[in-house]
Amino acid sequence: MKRRHLISLHDLSADKVQEILTLAAEVKAHPKQYKDTLKLKTLAMLFEKPSLRTRVTFETGMTQLGGHAIYLAQDVGLGKRESVSDIAKNLGRWVDGIMARTFAHKTVTDLAEYAGVPVINGLTDLSHPCQALADYLTIQEKFGDLKGRKIAYVGDGNNVTHSLMFGAAKLGMEIRVATPAGFEPKAEVVAMAREDAQETGAKIEIMQDPHEAVRGVDAVYTDVWASMGQESEAGDRAKIFPPYQVNSKLMAGAAPHAVFLHCLPAHRNDEVTDEVLDGPQSVILDEAENRLHAQKAVMILLMGKKKKK
């Protein structure tokens, strides 16, 4: 993997993204075969944002691979109590890898620059690669292949959207992103994803009509309308986003076999109704479980011993 880090799916080749998904499926199917893969290895987990899925899946994953994870909460004071570079240099002397869940994307890139050990982006305001890997692993499980599959993302053009676009581009898929005007994914990210898409035949579309976006797709995806750090905007966003709610009427426009995905936590009956979230098309719990398997694959590839040729 590029520079032995996972910062963004954009950094990886198409083959490497598929390799992660293939290994994740193998690890999920045969967990005991990998129980000592990271024996005596230690992962430092840095958190600026609260977490359920990220903390539990990384910590559980390290344990199941024979290693150990250390939870470092907000009191570490990234960039406040101590500079990010100094924290990175210290951690690099003690541990075998770092996972960071931060606000600024630069915090993760700085950790990668100075730590001297693999760094995994557990979420930043710009991207969420581990989530996208779990999402595409889930879709792959449901349909058996990914190339040519269609996914619609409806809602705010946020960090999850960015990583979904990069993933779709690397995997040769079609992704349609429908957002209100002014809430589109970052233009530079769209440009980068479309550049990636040229190599695989993928298609990236940005639009405003959610019904056009979901027409005939294999998967429908949404996320909260106001992400962590945007709480002050929640009231205003609640007036703008209702037309983008994923409900049974919107889901009816997708293919009959379509699945529904959400990275969670969900704000029930805001961006998605209970009927959809708990309905037969929902794969949100499979998706949440697959965070564990996808991240185990990433940690094996980054922190495991290289196999001799």
Residues tagged active-site: 101, 128, 131, 223, 263, 291
Q: Are 184 and 2 in contact (CB under 8 A)?
A: no
Q: For the CA atoms of 198, 201, 202, 205, what is the dihedral angle to 10 degrees?
A: 70
In angstroms, rounded to a whole number, what is the distance separating the alpha carbons of residues 225 and 282? Answer: 19
Strand order in the sheet with 150-154: 203-207, 174-178, 150-154, 219-222, 259-262
Number of CB atoms found within 10 A of residue 146's CB: 21
Q: For the CA atoms of 229, 56, 277, 26, what is the dihedral angle to 10 degrees?
A: 120
In angstroms, rounded to a whole number, what is the distance separating the alpha carbons of residues 103 and 69? Answer: 21
Residue among 19, 12, 15 nearest 193 (CA): 12
Burial class (CB in 10 A: 0-12, 13-18, 19+), 178: buried
**118: Cβ contacts below 8 Å, ≥ 6 apart:** 4, 5, 6, 96, 97, 98, 302, 303
Residue among 173, 134, 126 nearest 152 (CA): 173
